Structure 1
Amino acid sequence: MTEERALFIIFGGSGDLAQRKLYPALYGLYFQGRLAKHFAVIGTARRPWTDDHYHEVVKQSLVGAPGSAHQKTEFAEHFYYQSHDVTDAAHYVTLQKLASKLNLQYQLDGNRIFYMAMAPRFFATIAEHVKSEQLLSPDGYNRLIVEKPFGRDYASAKQLNDDISQAFSEEQIYRIDHYLGKEMVQDIMPLRFTNPFLENVWSNQFIDNIQITLAEDIGVEERAGYYETAGALRDMVQNHIFQIIAMLTMEKPSRYDATAIHEAKRAVLAAIKPYTPAQVHTNFVRGQYVGGDNLGLSYREEDNIAADSTVETYVAGRVDIDNDRWRGVPIYLRTGKKMPAKTSRIDIVFKPTKDNILPTTGNAPVRANVVTLIIEPDTGMHITLNGKEIGVSDAVSPFTLDHALDKDELAKAPEAYQRLLLNILEGNKLTFTHWDELAASWHFIDAVRNVWDNDKADGLAFYPSETMGPKQADELLSRDYRTWIWQGK
């Protein structure tokens, strides 16, 4: 197993993301031996912490992780803290001196990874100072990790991209979408392109519709301030769902590398044409949860939420791809908070058998075949097929083939951030988002967002907490004589 060498500089090192996700992910790599003696981390933030306090924060983030207390202490000793004002050039000079010192101390070969784990409004300032104060390594590689939200619309996203591109090239920028690091999303390409029984029917000739559901059973909680400026459309659809759509529908790449895969994703996203206002009204639904007895607070009653807020906590919609492979196959999507259960899943619904000659129970139609990918909380897949009803009957009856990862298999699967950080260390951009993909998704999302912003409260549907969302989401499918596969159970 090859040990990676790098210096991580985390802007926002005292924040929630760093403590919940980044430090445990880095420790996972350390525990596996992918990080060992030759790595260091500089955490920066405004708080006046000492290195010793920082070590305690890091170790606290590892509670419940495997390994001994000694291992965790040794890991934490690779961490250094600098109180930092991102607008003060002098602080970057100090940061550069520390980076140079650690590069020699840990023999890092000049490799530097810059992680912007803070509000996007600081990205341009950080990139500018990283370049002007010569924090970029002249010897090893320089890689920039950017978290979402990447802009609020196409214009702001382009400005943000232009700003960070002053210091980093597209090849050096890693835009994280943690859904791309999840085990079953990683499995989409192997399932599609190594199984002829799927690859040969993966088109409008055989597939009737595709359904993507990203459901949460919690409300906005501590993210209320952010959510009030984002909403479900920006928070979940523009990034996670559009990336899943691209993975499901792109043409087979010419080869298995980042350049070919990003080109395939760009091409299919470009075939999703932005809607007109009339099409938005027809094809998209927005909702907001309301509470009540035993259901908790309504969205408008949450802390830091306006009493008359029209921000959506639920989105359902239909997306159509205008190319030869997918024309006529609707892709239905939905995501929401305060739904009956937490689940992320993809249901690929195949066209029903024509001219069935076999008997069915009560003359019911033959059930459609469905391939279901379960992303979370479980991980696995189901295939719904048809066979003979058990017993003396000749009637056709549906059954399901199940493949679910057991505890031992799940233990081998790295957490999404751990996988993505390893990809960055290896220079592997397969599981990251290219700017062109973001631009295409923003053009579509802007068309929907502009209609909703102009409509204000018109068209906002309310749904009780712990339900499947507003009834208009069901009507979105029922008008096409279809139903949602997942019904909340």
Structure 2
Amino acid sequence: MTNPLRDPQDRRLPRIAGPCSLILFGVTGDLSRKKLIPAVYDLANRGLLPPGFGLVGFARHDFSQDEFAQLIKQAAKDGARTPWRETLWNQLAAGIRFVPGEFDDDAAWKRLADTMRELDEQQGTNGNHAFYLSIPPALFPVVVSQLREHGLATSDDGWRRVVIEKPFGHDLASAQDLNRVVAEVFPRESVFRIDHYLGKETVQNVLAFRFANGMFEPIWNGNYVDHVQITMAEDIGIGTRAGYYDSIGAARDVIQNHLLQLMALIAMEEPVSFKASSLRIEKQKILANARPTPRLDFHTAHAQYVAGWAGGEKVAGYLEEEGIPRGSTTETYAAMRIDIATRRWAGVPFYLRAGKRLGRRVTEVAVVFKPAPHQPFAKHDVEELGENALVMRIQPDEGVTLRFGAKVPGTTMEIRDVLMDFAYGGAFVESSPEAYERLILDVLLGDPPLFPQHEEVELAWEILDPVIEHWARQENIDTYTAGTWGPASADEMIARDGRTWRRP
């Protein structure tokens, strides 16, 4: 079986985690069942976990050890991307444990400490344990404090690490408070803030595309680039996440983390190496110099979807979704212009947009180039010629498309847009690991390149907070019909700059 998770020092060798365990708080939640547990199984199936690996679930359910093992097995079977092997599962099951209890129950934390010692003795985990907080953000400080209170955050023998899922706070102040609490318990190098988008192969390929190919670097600047559009569109609604989503909204949910991180990767200068510290320095420079334009009424838009058609079915509007309070003004669509005050990007606007119930599911980065300074063609020759654009498709049809003008066959000089397309699925036979496989393995290896540090998190909130505060002062929120590409206000926003949104 081809192994795509290779040792960067020697592509012939897999990057295998040493003796350790993963302790999942919120193990019965959707994220754990649908993503984390299948990722653990797939890592084991690829031979990237040690034979004595331990997996501990902490939850308030009253499962027996056998019941819990069966729940984990079913979750792994349902979500695994690699073939099911019963012998492998039996090996993995030997290290599975369950600890029942509430977060304020001292007896439960004692049971967890005993379980960790048991794994050290029976599975040979050597005191190496990673705590994965797959729980509501409000509980992060509670669990981190309890880990310190019961002596579980440090060890004389092995390492201890903590994994925190987004969102990292709901504004700058709350993010700073959370970072302060975590820093009091875990050293900087032991804190892993998960942004699963950074684990996607196509996101990592942004770096390979930019810095492995000399043909693009000379035009990757404001002399040639007109603007950049970063889009994350979803065709689904909020599903069962009403309580969470209504308190967050589209901007906090994906722009603050996913899209601003994508922007930083697109705009950053070449790092001196791909070590975590070097990547972080260059991304922070971009985030520190990026700001929404001062005219927030002109260059931002937010809206909610109303009833419409999606996938051939009639769907409800946001305010009609179960669990959404009447009169909610939470946005399901957000768009904004960001300017980056560096020599490379001065005068080049970055347009970010994200939304639910849009035309189709797609995430892409489109770098749109300025027209040629002189075109020696008659006007009617180039009527069907658009803007040159390089589009990186993050999901679902992963690849890169280059749009440029070419002559239409015939006796006249007619220029029309054509596409040069690269698709990952057609170019590589290796199977891409799921994002959480890569990220979990990086945690267990202690390798942090794909994880934003607290400075990046706080800089991103500094960018977004003024926009959120501006929207909060408005009495009304715009709407758009489900299944369309967003509100008219977003089209007007970009039209004020003489531009239009791409139709993915």
TM-score range, shorter chain: over 0.9
CA distance in 1: counterparts of 2:64 and 2:365, whole angstroms:
46
- Distance in 2, matches of 1:409 and 1:130, equals 44
**Cα distance in structure 1, aligned partners of 2:104 and 2:113:** 15
Separation (CA, whole Å) in 1 of partners of 2:291 and 2:365: 22
Deviations 1:224-253 (A, max 9, x none): 110110011111111111111111111111
Instruction: Report the equivalent of 1:257.
Output: 275
Q: Secondary structure at the match of 2:248?
A: helix
2:187 to 125, 144, 169: 169
State the Cα distance separating 1:358 from its structure 2 match.
4.3
**Equivalence map 1:239-318=2 (5 Å):** 239-273=257-291, 276=294, 279-292=295-308, 294-318=313-337
Contact 2:365 2:392 in 1 (8 A): yes
**Contact 1:353 1:366 (C-alpha < 8 Å) held by counterparts:** no
The change in CA–CA distance for 1:158 and 1:272 in structure 2 (over 3 A counts) is same
Q: Give me the whole-angstrom Cα distance separating, in 2, the residues matched to 1:411 and 1:484.
A: 34
| 1:270 Cα offset (Å) | 0.5
Map of 1:35 onto structure 2: 49
Equivalent position amino acid for 2:252 in 1: R
Which deviates further from its counterpart, 79-88 or 60-69? 60-69
What is residue 7 of structure 1 aligned with on the other side? 21
Written as runs of structure 1 = structure 2, the 5 A alignment for 1:150-165 is: 150-165=168-183
SS in 1 for 2:261: helix
- 2:249–2:332 Cα contact (<8 Å) kept: yes
- 8 Å contact kept, 1:295–1:466: no
| Secondary structure in 1 matching 2:240 | helix
In structure 1, C-alpha distance between the alignment counterparts of 2:301 and 2:308, rounded to whole Å: 23
TM-score, normalised by the number of residues in structure 2: 0.92
In the aligned structure 1, how far is the partner of 2:391 from the partner of 2:231? 11
Cα distance, 1:387 vs structure 2: 2.5
SS of 1:26's equivalent in the other structure is helix
Structure 1 residue 95 displacement after superposition: 1.0
2:40 pairs with 1:26: yes
Give the Cα separation in 2 of the matches to 1:311 and 1:188: 32
Distance 2:167 2:157 in 1: 31
Alignment of 1:307-456 (within 5 A): 307-358=326-377, 362-364=381-383, 366-406=385-425, 409=428, 412-456=431-475
Asked if the contact 1:211–1:346 (Cα under 8 Å) also holds between the matched residues in 2, the reply is yes
Correspondence for 2:478: 461
The 8 Å contact of residues 55 and 77 in structure 1, kept in 2 or not, is answered as no
Q: How many residues are paired up?
A: 483
Distance 1:164 1:410, change over 3 A: farther
AA aligned to 1:212 is: I
Per-residue CA distance 1:39-60 (angstroms, 9 max, x = gap): 1011101111111111111111
Does 1:104 find its partner at 2:117?
no
Q: 1:46 corresponds to which residue?
A: 60
CA distance, structure 1, for counterparts of residue 407 and residue 418 of structure 2:
9
Q: Which residue is 2:492 aligned to?
A: 475
Q: Is the 8 A contact 2:268 2:285 kept in 1?
A: yes
- 5+ residue gaps, structure 2: 1-13
How far apart, CA to CA, are the structure 2 residues paired with 1:105 and 1:144?
Answer: 23
Structure 1 CA distance for aligned equivalents of residues 93 and 409 of structure 2: 59
Change in Cα spacing, 1:408 to 1:200, as seen in structure 2 (3 Å) is closer
Measured in 2, the distance between the counterparts of 1:274 and 1:483 equals 18
Quote the Cα distance in structure 1 between the aligned partners of 2:296 and 2:416.
39
1:73-152 alignment to 2 at 5 Å? 73-135=90-152, 136-152=154-170
Alpha-carbon distance in 2 for matches of 1:363, 1:158: 53
- The alpha carbon displacement at 1:365 in A equals 7.1
Give 1:75's aligned amino acid.
L
**Do 2:335 and 2:353's aligned partners in 1 also have CA atoms closer than 8 Å?**
yes
Distance 2:308 2:485 in 1: 16
Q: CA deviation at 1:107?
A: 1.5
CA distance in structure 2 between the aligned counterparts of 1:297 and 1:326, rounded to whole angstroms:
41
**Would the aligned equivalents of 1:352 and 1:369 in 2 still touch at CA under 8 Å?**
yes
* Aligned counterparts of 1:263 and 1:94: Cα–Cα separation in 2: 41
Deviation at 1:388, TM superposition (A): 2.5
* SS of structure 2 residue aligned to 1:61: helix
Report the residue type matching 2:420 in the other structure: L
Aligned residue type for 2:393: I
Maintained 8 Å contact 1:261/1:430: yes
User: What are the superposed Cα offsets for residues 8-56 of structure 1, whole Å, 9 maximum, x if unpaired?
Assistant: 1111112111101100111111010001412101110111111111111
The match for 2:4 is: none
- The normalised TM-score by structure 1 is 0.95
Write out per-residue CA displacement over residues 52-86 of structure 1, whole angstroms, 9 at most, x where no aligned residue: 11111111112353122343343233211000211
Contact (CA 8 Å) 2:293, 2:337: kept in 1 or not? no
**1: CA distance, partners of 2:353 / 2:94:** 44
Show the counterpart of 2:75: 61
CA offsets per residue over residues 355-377 of structure 1, 9 Å max, x none?
11245754427432211111111
